[in-house]
Amino acid sequence: MILPGKRFFMNTGTDQIRDSLVEKGLKVTPQRMAILEAIYTLNNHPTAEMILDYIKDTHPGIATGTVYKVLDVLTAHRLIDRVKTEKDIMRYDGMVGNHHHLYGTESTEIKDYVNEELDEILKDYFKRNAIEDFEIQSVKLQINGKFVKRGNNK
């Protein structure tokens, strides 16, 4: 199932963002709030530059370095994940639950993909085919392809 629009795992209102920071033992700052809100609102695996563009009107004095530092802190506390593209562009994902990514080879689009059946197949496969001297913590697929716009074919 491709997950467009709202994130199914987290309510992204201001109170929920504040609560998620507190639950991780982080100080609630305007910068952290704004950056998390931007990631959840943009919902497109944004780059740091996209986040900066989004928050510059409400936080005009925020430095680029501050955004990167906040992103590092949020990643370290598992509030967001890093997603690296084939072109080595770092993007950020507000969905930290188990899921995979669909990468558009003809665009910069990345979509989340959740499929519990696929997860079970992968889990069973690696249970039967253990990798020597390696403990798997998670398996995330990067599925490359072309997004096809479906419309009315008249």
45 phi-psi bin (left φ>0, alpha ψ -120 to 50, beta other): left
The per-residue pLDDT for range 87-123, each reduced to its tens digit, is: 888 999 999 888 999 999 888 889 999 999 999 999 9
CA gap 57, 50 in Å, rounded: 13
Joined together, the tokens standing for residue 118 give 């696929």
- Mean pLDDT of all residues in 36-43: 93
Parts of the chain belonging to CATH 3.30.1490: 100-145
How high is the mean pLDDT of the chain?
88
45 near 91, Cβ under 8 Å? yes
Query: Which pTM was predicted?
Result: 0.81
CA gap 110, 145 in Å, rounded: 10
The per-residue pLDDT for range 72-82, each reduced to its tens digit, is: 999 999 999 99
CA gap 13, 17 in Å, rounded: 6
| Bridge partners for 84 per DSSP | 90
Parts of the chain belonging to CATH 1.10.10.10: 14-93
Q: Could you tell me the pLDDT band of residue 5, with boundaries at 50, 70 and 90?
A: very low
Which residue shows structure tokens 């080879």? 105
Class of domain 14-93: mainly alpha
Rg (CA), the chain: 17
| Sheet strands (E) in the chain | 81-84, 90-93, 100-104, 110-113, 142-145
Which residue shows structure tokens 């669909």? 102
- CATH architecture, range 100-145: 2-Layer Sandwich (3.30)
